[in-house]
Chain A
């Protein structure tokens, strides 16, 4: 499961999926997660990077990341085949 490589992300949190034409907005943590996903980071790495940058515990990030991934998948931003 990987994030689609061709999506465009801007610093304002605007996301454009050129293969579907959909656009989205996200917040700072969401932006960081998507960038880390684009870099090919695994979930555990993403969690530890978020925990290192923000004042939050690991289990909350794990729960939130699960929910966020669910949303990314429902928006067809995740590539199911990988």
Chain B
């Protein structure tokens, strides 16, 4: 056996709680790499992110400033961390931080020699909820018809374009199904009070939810894709358990979306499969999902592939995956010394 290449990778999203971030699953995948002997640097936003204390997975951790404090302060912090650690690749895993890392990517490479493997700003924005319909049209995938509205006064006229029921969605979160225009008005006010304007009105599509975790090479190739159906969900709607599916049509659609959009990096595609066997794309998340480790379990180590591509290696697309593999999520109480909590709280390092 050839010796594995030693590398240092920084990973965020260590919030491995009941609604987990993808950080720890990504780290597990990297620790099991056949190519790399990986030292993991954890990047955390909060003092109680469980990953901070998982010393067998995370070798060293640093707190980093929230995206709201600006790119300049993030860069300043990364500069300090880099002086200590010599990171080769960073894998950001939070939606809210991606904007900053995408903007910083060229500078991280030129100034610090840190590689990333992220979608471009245009790709990142092209799959935003508010423009997903156009994204679908461009990439040959059905998306429930949707429209942005700015005032409840626009609701009566919706019947010209939609039939009830329809979905009223917030800009970032929240969605409710309205059966009448009165209900729609009601949800409009409720959701806009919480998330602001605009409100997205979406055609209601019924069927089964199926998800795909995938990775693109940025040149039009889908390197890997594993479809999954949630078997059980938590009260927050997150997957508790799921199973890998044999669904060639879904793989084809995924290949088309990733290939056509030249998607670069990991992503999660959420679909509804209707009774007639049609697939509608509901959402595209621009990073690995928290269940990405299922892909590893099925024989496709997506995080490892991402690191290899980030380091400039040529990666051939995975051709198979195991069907009928399950993931069953569990939680686990770690015992932590106060002194560890003190160190991350006062020094910002652990």
Contact = CB atoms under 8 A, between A and B. Distances in A.
State yes or no: do A and B touch (Cβ within 8 Å).
yes
Nearest to A16: B338
A25 B345 contact: yes
A8 to B, nearest CB: 8
- Secondary structure of the B side of the interface? helix
Contacts of B345: 14, 23, 25
A20 interface: no
Interface string A27-63: 0000000000000000000000000000000000000
Interface in A63-80: none
B346 A25 contact: yes
Interface residues of A, number: 8
A27 B283 CA distance: 47
A10 interface: yes
A14 B47 CA distance: 14
A12 interface: yes
Interface centre among A10, A13, A14, A25 (most CB of B within 10 A): A14
Interface string B277-296: 00000000000000000000
Contacts of A13: 346
A7 to B, nearest CB: 12
Contacts of A10: 342
B52 to A, nearest CB: 15
Interface string B317-350: 0000000000000000000001001100111000
B194 to A, nearest CB: 30
A23 B47 CA distance: 12
A16 B345 CA distance: 12
Nearest to A23: B345
A21 to B, nearest CB: 10
A32 to B, nearest CB: 17
**Closest CB pairs A-B (n = 9):** A14-B342, A12-B346, A14-B346, A25-B346, A16-B338, A10-B342, A13-B346, A14-B345, A23-B345
A23 B336 CA distance: 15
Contacts of A12: 342, 346-347
Contacts of B341: 23
Nearest to A10: B342
Contacts of B347: 12
A23 B337 CA distance: 13
Contacts of B338: 8, 16, 23
A8 B338 CA distance: 11
Chain A CB within 10 Å — which of B341, B342, B346, B347 has the most? B342
Nearest to B341: A23
A23 B338 CA distance: 10
Contacts of B342: 10, 12, 14, 16, 23
Interface string B228-245: 000000000000000000
A27 B346 CA distance: 11
A27 B172 CA distance: 39
A68 B86 CA distance: 42
